Amino acid sequence: DTGVSQDPRHKITKRGQNVTFRCDPISEHNRLYWYRQTLGQGPEFLTYFQNEAQLEKSRLLSDRFSAERPKGSFSTLEIQRTEQGDSAMYLCASSLGFTETQYFGPGTRLLVL
């Protein structure tokens, strides 16, 4: 296992389009997190899954954002009707237990034109 992977690594889209990102966590990790990071800032929590259950969503996650983890393995994050303010790095992390170290993926950098 090579760690957390994310796809795509980069995405450029026009305002108003929908985009979907994928995260594959470390295989035995049952907890999966999504974060958003803007330039010069630390990551901000978006949402969290334990297995397939989405247990919490940040108020940062507007109704244009939806995340799924249908089989408790990989996860997708979809942004509908993208806005320029959505431009950021979207990071996925996974952990074995909620107090364990979160391992981050390389991120998907989104640019909305």
Partner 1 sequence: KNQVEQSPQSLIILEGKNCTLQCNYTVSPFSNLRWYKQDTGRGPVSLTIMTFSENTKSNGRYTATLDADTKQSSLHITASQLSDSASYICVVSGLNDYKLSFGAGTTVTVRA
Of 7, 28, 1, nearest to 90 (Cα)? 7
Q: Residue 1 or 15: which CB sits closer to partner 1?
A: 1
Q: Residue 15 or 98: which CB sits closer to partner 1?
A: 98
Q: Which one of 88, 91, 110, 112 is in contact with partner 1 (CB under 8 A)?
A: 91
Encoded amino acid at 53, one letter: A
Four-residue CA torsion sign, 23, 25, 29, 32: negative
Q: Which of residues 54-83 bind partner 1 (CB under 8 A)?
A: none
85 binds partner 1 (CB under 8 A): no
Determine the straight-line distance between the first and last CA of the chain, rounded to whole angstroms. 35
Of 101, 80, 94, 78, nearest to 20 (Cα)? 78
Binding residues with partner 1: total (CB under 8 A): 25
48 binds partner 1 (CB under 8 A): yes
Tokens representing 63 are 């109704």
Q: Which of residues 3-22 bind partner 1 (CB under 8 A)?
A: 4, 6
Of 23, 35, 105, 108, nearest to 72 (Cα)? 23
What's the min distance (Å) between Cβ of 29 and partner 1?
A: 12
Q: Which residues bind partner 1 (CB under 8 A)?
A: 4, 6, 31, 33, 40-45, 48, 89, 91, 93, 95, 98-99, 101-107, 109
